[in-house]
Amino acid sequence: MSKSKAKRPRWVNSDGSVTPIPGASDPGGLRDLYHIFLKVHWSTFLALLAAGYFSLNTVFACLYMLAGPGGVPGVESFAQAFNFSIQTFATIGYGVLSPVSTFANFVVAIESFTGIVSVALATGMIFARFSQPQARVLFSKKAVINTIDGTPQLRFRVRNQRGNRVIGATVKLVLMRREILPDGSVFNRFIDLKVVRDQTPLFMLSWVVMHPIDHDSPFYGVMPEELADYPIELVVTLTGLDGTTNQLITAQSSYQPDDMVFGHRMEDVFQPGEDGKPTLHWHHFHAVRELPEEHAMPEWVRNRKISAE
């Protein structure tokens, strides 16, 4: 992208998160409470649980104060009422305080039921958050466009950071291109891109994903200087079965024109060690290296440069 232009926002960020669009979601309130609790950060989730816990105990403490000393003998201040509420809510039952009046016993029954339901819901939410499959997949920061064996290709690299088995990993490339129609309206076109190998039976270390730039590819004929102004975003989706948890995992990332470089190759992460055996060098994962132009640039780039000369 040219320096004079503002950086285009991403639909899908490099970490797989989606850029929120104002007005896209319809707030569901309590109907979407489960979904909200699953989406928020752990610190926010625990803060919400704590806020709900103390709020409920505050409400019941006020009811015990309303019952008066005759309702729960020994409860004469709000602090004592709050302490009694916590014991009842958590079914602790120290045996020092106990309700006497009908109203106090009724409040205890309601709070006991509320406590059981609340603990069950909180336990379910915590389990649901822990049981969500999380993929630790790293995408290379750059995608390179070069020529391999006479065939122009767009390439990027994916790494399984856990190093465990991901069975039947599948990758899908979709190019989102913003187009202006003859009537002046804006249309976002989604184009499925071909992949040299869209599946791997065992994804444990790294995987180089390759898109052949043939005559059917939207990248065919695009010059390096034109790519910067190309209104596109390449969205990558990877799915597979985690061999440890036997759960389906997904990972997403995207590449904009700023992330694509012509005439470069990715550095090898497998390099010979001192004993001659291949050694992994993950610090080369994002590294790219420029290639000689006569071997790296696609044919249409070389031909146009020859014609210009």
Q: Which CATH number fits domain 29-131: 1.20.1370.20, 1.10.3720.10, 1.10.287.70, 1.20.140.10?
A: 1.10.287.70
pLDDT digits (tens), the chain, 309 positions: 334 445 566 667 766 666 655 555 555 555 677 888 888 889 999 999 999 999 999 999 999 999 888 888 888 899 999 999 999 998 887 878 888 899 999 999 999 999 999 999 999 999 988 888 888 899 999 999 888 777 889 999 999 998 888 999 999 999 998 887 788 787 888 999 999 999 998 888 889 999 999 888 898 888 888 888 888 899 999 999 998 888 899 999 999 998 999 888 888 887 766 766 777 778 888 988 888 766 677 777 666 655 555
* Best CA proximity match to 270, nearest among 261, 280, 262: 280
* Best CA proximity match to 252, nearest among 238, 242, 232, 234: 238
293 contacts: CB under 8 Å, gap ≥ 6: 263, 302
- Tell me, which fold does domain 137-308 have in CATH? Immunoglobulin-like (2.60.40)
For residues 232 and 177, is the Cβ–Cβ distance under 8 A? yes
Q: At which residue do the structure tokens 């319809």 appear?
A: 26
State the alpha helices, DSSP H only, in the chain: 33-39, 42-67, 78-89, 102-131, 224-227, 293-296, 299-308
* Best CA proximity match to 238, nearest among 167, 193, 163, 172: 172
Q: Where are the domains of the chain?
A: 29-131, 137-308
